[in-house]
């Protein structure tokens, strides 16, 4: 009973904090938080593939960019659609792309899966650059209208913040729910021992395909929100290799296989980038060093580090119990 | 020869030269993968690093030939350092750790190159001996491209001799098929791994120096080559040198004829080729495992 009460108080504090955040900290930090939340959702969707089914992708930007372009194109060409519909179209674009790739990619795993996605990501980047009349080339699609939601003007940063938080929060909750269903448990089983799951009578390729499409869908939502937030989507902001590497880095820092780890990773990475960019413009150097140091000294990421500290210093005295 | 055939032949030689460079890079990647199971994302960065070393040596000494010999060796030394002090430590974490580590290394190399040499592209002059064109049966070929093909063939023969005629080559071939067993036979596998990593980066280094006078040296040099080399290794089959060779040549020709006939879609041809191959054989053309 007590823990349930604490849990509800925790949720209430979290929601109150999120509601009050733009009033307390101003426009700059509000926008920073939206970016953080977008990449948080994007990384969680990436970790759904990596942490829960063990599939590492170096081309997750495929779906992020598809979502972004989907939403931007819808708002530019279709008049009278609502903002939520545009996000839905972004999601749909990512899902369609994932369904197209599915028959090929669910049959492979490991390094081939990873590299094939890197190649597809590059392919999409190239297409976005070349098909100028649709995608606007390297300038991208910008300045599309942002229709009001419930008569709130979306060009006001704090209004957009609430919209983004609602959509991203709902997506996050849906994914959390998804991993807790019996089907979500099968995913973990596929990662741990695919053969055994096969013998238990579950279909591995189909399981992988469903996870793949779901991960793509939520990456699409993140991309769509990002495009709306920037009011711009371009080949570089949607499909660039660094967009694909961002969730890899954030998940590594936060901790693979922990559901909320990637969000912490996104937060840490965002803050680090914010701080370092004040002193130096060598972002690659900082990112590269972070990756090397993390993998050398804290391969479990932040989640692994916390667990280690817990076991080392805060664990109940296991030794004593044994002695008794 | 009439002008049209002459053009086809010239394009073919261009494609062959690029294919040979690609093979040098891809074979290094493939040896490292076949033996150590490491997909080295920093491989193309070593290729670029070697081109920068070549520029620096020419700046100091003015001698291209010395740069051709020294730059790949210095690059290989850096490769060995990375293997000894970084890769070896994360080997226990499996594929994921190695991929992330080598990605980190490639970012650091990129940043380092920008810090030391700046972002503009640096020209390297073709040495006077290899400048100009050579006339063969009424056709003008640039000598330097022929030199690249020749150089790659020499390296290929050297590698083949090393692999099939020496004791080290025997160990390497045995280790490709079963590293644990070779280790159990009392051969110091850690040292062999280090050596193989060095040879792999040396191959990338040779390619880097060879291509530098054609493309100039700039921080984006590794992007295209890295991607192409990975596609070659994935399509040809992990751990198969013959596969890497054939696919490299095919890709070189595809890209040079592709630019001529379908200029807009030329870069797509490689991706389509790869997708078709992987859809039919997920382990690549000549690969034996995934």
Residues of A in contact with B223 (CB under 8 A): 241
Helix-helix angle B266-280:A110-130, to 10 degrees: 150
How much is the pLDDT for A277? 75
User: Cα angle vertex A243, ends A237, A247, to 5°?
Assistant: 145
pLDDT in tens, A26-73: 777 777 888 888 888 999 889 888 887 778 888 888 999 999 898 888
When pLDDT is averaged across residues A295-303 and rounded to a whole number, the result is 78
How far off is chain B from A110, nearest CA to CA, in Å?
A: 8
How much is the pLDDT for B289? 57
Domain spans, chain A:
22-323
A156: which 2 tokens?
């006001």
CA closest to B224 among chain A residues: A122
Top mean pLDDT of A12-26, B39-53, B115-129, B275-289 is at: B39-53
User: In which band, very low, low, confident or very high, does the pLDDT at A316 lie, cut at 50, 70 and 90?
Assistant: low
pLDDT in tens, A232-282: 888 888 788 778 888 888 888 887 777 888 888 888 888 887 787 777 777
The lowest-confidence range among A160-174, B13-27, B50-64 is A160-174
A95: which 2 tokens?
């899902």
- Give bridge partners of residue A149 from the DSSP assignment: A152
Which run of H or of E encompasses A142?
strand A141-142
Q: Return the closest-CA partner of residue A266 out of A65, A36, A28, A50.
A: A36
Q: What Å distances lie between residue B67 and A159, B18, B74, B117, B201, CA to CA?
A: 60, 21, 10, 17, 16
When pLDDT is averaged across residues B272-290 and rounded to a whole number, the result is 75
Q: Is the pLDDT of residue A286 over 50?
A: yes
Q: Judge contact between B64 and B229, C-beta under 8 A.
A: no
Whether A112 and B278 lie within 8 Å, measured CB to CB: yes
How much is the pLDDT for B203? 93
C-alpha–C-alpha distance, residues B261 and B44, integer Å: 29
Whether B93 and A282 lie within 8 Å, measured CB to CB: no
pLDDT in tens, B50-98: 999 999 998 888 888 888 889 999 999 999 999 888 888 887 777 778 8
Interface membership of A99 toward B (CB under 8 Å): no
pLDDT in tens, A100-122: 888 878 777 777 777 788 888 88
Using the Cα atoms of residue A139, residue A143, residue A149 and residue A154 in order, give the sign of their dihedral: positive
Q: Rounded to a whole number, what is the distance in angstroms from the first to the last CA of chain B?
A: 46
Which run of H or of E encompasses A294?
helix A283-297
User: In which band, very low, low, confident or very high, does the pLDDT at A158 lie, cut at 50, 70 and 90?
Assistant: confident
CB proximity under 8 Å: A 112-131 to B: 112, 114-116, 118-120, 122-123, 126, 130
Residues of B in contact with A120 (CB under 8 A): 271
Q: Is the pLDDT of residue A25 over 80?
A: no
Whether A256 and B96 lie within 8 Å, measured CB to CB: yes
C-alpha–C-alpha distance, residues B45 and B25, integer Å: 11
Q: Judge contact between B225 and B47, C-beta under 8 A.
A: yes
Q: What is the ipTM of this complex?
A: 0.81
C-alpha–C-alpha distance, residues A33 and A271, integer Å: 10
How far off is chain A from B260, nearest CA to CA, in Å?
A: 17
Comparing A97 with A138, which gets the higher pLDDT? A97
Q: What percent of chain B has pLDDT over 90?
A: 19
pLDDT in tens, A196-215: 888 887 777 788 888 889 99
How much is the pLDDT for A323? 42
Q: Is the pLDDT of residue A322 over 60?
A: no
How much is the pLDDT for A192? 76
Q: What Å distances lie between residue A142 and A121, A220, A230, A233, B129, CA to CA?
A: 22, 18, 8, 6, 53
How much is the pLDDT for B78? 93
C-alpha–C-alpha distance, residues A85 and A149, integer Å: 11
Q: Is the pLDDT of residue B255 over 50?
A: yes
Q: Is the pLDDT of residue A1 over 70?
A: no
Select A22-323's CATH number: 1.10.3470, 3.40.50, 1.10.1740, 2.60.220.
1.10.3470
User: In which band, very low, low, confident or very high, does the pLDDT at A217 lie, cut at 50, 70 and 90?
Assistant: very high
Q: Return the closest-CA partner of residue A53 out of A170, A226, A179.
A: A179
Residues of B in contact with A126 (CB under 8 A): 267-268
State the Rg of chain A over Cα.
Answer: 21
Residues of A in contact with B103 (CB under 8 A): 245, 248, 288, 291
CATH number belonging to domain B6-113+124-280: 1.10.3470
Interface membership of A250 toward B (CB under 8 Å): no
Interface membership of B115 toward A (CB under 8 Å): yes
pLDDT in tens, B115-163: 888 888 888 888 877 777 777 766 777 888 888 889 999 988 888 888 8
Residues of A in contact with B231 (CB under 8 A): 119
Whether B97 and A295 lie within 8 Å, measured CB to CB: yes
Q: How many CB pairs under 8 A join A and B?
A: 105
How much is the pLDDT for A95? 92
How far off is chain B from A108, nearest CA to CA, in Å?
A: 6
How much is the pLDDT for B198? 92
How much is the pLDDT for B66? 87
C-alpha–C-alpha distance, residues B161 and A206, integer Å: 47
Q: How many other C-beta atoms are found inside a 10 Å radius of the C-beta of residue A107?
A: 15
Q: Return the closest-CA partner of residue A109 out of A175, A194, A180.
A: A194
- When CB atoms are compared, the residue of A110, A122, A282 closest to B111 is A282
Interface membership of B276 toward A (CB under 8 Å): no
When pLDDT is averaged across residues B4-30 and rounded to a whole number, the result is 86
Domain spans, chain B:
6-113+124-280
Interface membership of B267 toward A (CB under 8 Å): yes
How much is the pLDDT for A320? 47
Instruction: Calculate the average pLDDT of chain A.
Output: 81
Residues of B in contact with A292 (CB under 8 A): 86, 101, 104-105, 108
Q: Is the pLDDT of residue A92 over 70?
A: yes
User: In which band, very low, low, confident or very high, does the pLDDT at B1 lie, cut at 50, 70 and 90?
Assistant: low
Q: What percent of chain A has pLDDT over 70?
A: 95
Comparing A25 with A77, which gets the higher pLDDT? A77
User: In which band, very low, low, confident or very high, does the pLDDT at B105 lie, cut at 50, 70 and 90?
Assistant: very high
């Amino acid at each position: 009973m007590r823990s349930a009460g604490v849990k509800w108080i925790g949720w209430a504090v979290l929601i109150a904090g999120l509601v009050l955040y733009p009033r307390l900290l101003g426009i700059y930090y509000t926008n920073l938080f939206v970016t953080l939340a977008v990449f948080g959702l994007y990384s969680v969707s990436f970790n759904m593939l990596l942490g829960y089914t063990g599939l590492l992708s170096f081309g997750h930007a495929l779906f992020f960019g598809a979502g972004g372009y989907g939403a931007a194109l819808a708002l530019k060409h279709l008049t009278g659609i609502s903002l939520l519909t545009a996000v839905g179209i972004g999601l749909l674009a990512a899902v369609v792309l994932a369904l197209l790739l599915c028959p090929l990619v669910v049959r492979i795993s490991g390094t081939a899966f990873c590299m094939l996605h890197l190649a597809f990501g590059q392919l999409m980047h190239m297409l976005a650059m070349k098909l100028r009349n649709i995608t606007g080339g390297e300038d991208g699609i910008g300045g599309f209208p942002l229709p009001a939601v419930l008569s709130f003007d979306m060009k006001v940063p704090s209004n957009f913040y609430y919209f983004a938080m609602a959509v991203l929060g709902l997506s996050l909750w849906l994914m959390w729910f998804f991993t807790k269903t019996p089907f979500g448990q099968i995913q973990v089983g596929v990662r741990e021992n695919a053969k055994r799951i096969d013998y238990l009578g579950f279909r591995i390729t189909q399981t992988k395909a469903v996870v793949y499409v779901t991960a793509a869908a939520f990456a699409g939502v993140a991309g769509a929100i990002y495009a709306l937030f920037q009011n711009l989507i371009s080949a570089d902001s949607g499909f660039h290799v660094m967009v694909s590497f961002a969730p890899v880095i954030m998940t590594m820092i936060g901790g693979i296989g922990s559901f909320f780890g990637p969000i912490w990773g996104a937060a840490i990475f965002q803050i680090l980038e914010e701080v370092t960019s004040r002193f130096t413009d060598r972002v690659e150097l900082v990112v590269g060093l972070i990756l090397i140091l993390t993998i050398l000294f804290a391969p479990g990421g932040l989640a692994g580090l916390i667990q280690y500290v817990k076991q080392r210093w805060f664990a109940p005295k296991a030794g004593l119990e044994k002695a008794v | 020869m009439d002008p049209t055939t002459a053009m086809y032949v010239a394009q073919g030689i261009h494609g062959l030269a690029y294919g040979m460079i690609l093979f040098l890079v891809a074979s290094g990647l493939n040896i490292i993968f076949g033996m150590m199971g490491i997909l080295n994302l920093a491989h193309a960065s070593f290729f670029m690093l070697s081109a920068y070393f070549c520029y620096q040596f020419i700046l100091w000494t003015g001698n291209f030939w010395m740069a051709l010999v020294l730059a790949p060796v210095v690059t290989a030394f850096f490769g060995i350092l990375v293997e000894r002090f970084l890769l070896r430590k994360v080997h226990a974490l499996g594929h994921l750790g190695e991929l992330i580590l080598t990605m980190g290394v490639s970012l650091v190399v990129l940043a380092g190159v920008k810090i030391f040499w700046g972002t503009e592209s640096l020209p390297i002059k073709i040495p006077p001996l290899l400048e100009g064109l050579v006339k063969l049966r009424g056709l003008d070929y640039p000598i330097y491209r022929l030199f690249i093909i020749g150089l790659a063939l020499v390296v290929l023969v050297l590698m083949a001799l090393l692999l099939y005629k020496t004791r080290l080559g025997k160990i390497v071939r045995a280790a490709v098929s079963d590293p644990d067993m070779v280790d159990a036979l009392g051969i110091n596998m850690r040292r062999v791994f280090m050596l193989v990593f060095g040879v792999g980066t040396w191959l990338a280094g040779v390619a880097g120096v060879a291509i530098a006078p054609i493309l100039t040296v700039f921080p984006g040099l590794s992007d295209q080559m890295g991607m192409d080399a990975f596609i070659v290794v994935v399509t040809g089959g992990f751990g198969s040198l013959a596969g890497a060779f054939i696919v490299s040549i095919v890709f070189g020709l595809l890209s040079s004829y592709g630019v001529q006939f379908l200029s807009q879609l030329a870069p797509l041809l490689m991706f389509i080729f790869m997708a078709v191959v992987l859809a039919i054989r997920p382990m690549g053309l000549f690969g034996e495992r995934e």
